[in-house]
């Protein structure tokens, strides 16, 4: 009986370790895809890569925070260029990525709050631009 429980526990731990390694590798791949897209000047590839890396959430993974920071920077760069639609896409993507993850508590709650404020301001700005055209 004890041997059976030990075998089951070992199998569970091995499965958990394999799952963690798999998610870590996929997260790394997506993060690097975001970096490549950003270097190539391809906004959508960068955004999609970074967002996917966040969605492959692992607690304490530095790539989650790095991806969020890069998406935020993409949004701010779009704002500086006056591209409200691209900025909105970045902030909405960042917010969505964190809403799409689950853990013991909501990951990225601070990022979600920051994105909500940016989105609200940009939507108002876009409405003003549309009304003046």
Q: State in Å, rounded, how far the first CA of the chain is from the last one.
A: 77
Tokens standing for residue 100: 């799409």
Could you give the CA distance from residue 32 to residue 82 in angstroms, rounded to a whole number? 27
pLDDT per position as a tens digit, 66-79: 999 999 999 999 99
Domain ranges of the chain: 2-132
pLDDT per position as a tens digit, 11-55: 899 999 898 889 899 999 999 999 999 999 999 999 999 999 999
Check pLDDT > 70 for residue 133: no
Q: pTM here?
A: 0.87
Could you give the CA distance from residue 118 to residue 57 in angstroms, rounded to a whole number? 23
């Amino acid at each position: 009986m004890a041997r059976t429980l030990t075998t089951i526990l070992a199998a569970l731990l091995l499965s958990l370790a394999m799952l963690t390694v798999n998610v870590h590798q996929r997260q790394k791949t997506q993060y690097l895809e975001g970096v490549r897209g950003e270097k190539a000047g391809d906004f959508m590839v960068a955004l999609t890569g970074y967002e996917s890396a966040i969605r492959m959430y692992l607690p304490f993974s530095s790539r989650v925070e790095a991806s969020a920071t890069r998406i935020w920077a993409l949004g701010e760069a779009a704002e500086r260029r006056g591209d409200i639609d691209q900025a909105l896409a970045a902030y909405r993507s960042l917010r969505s990525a964190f809403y799409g993850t689950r853990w013991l508590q909501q990951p990225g709650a601070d990022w979600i709050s920051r994105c909500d404020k940016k989105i609200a301001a940009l939507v108002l700005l876009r409405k003003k631009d549309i009304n003046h055209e």
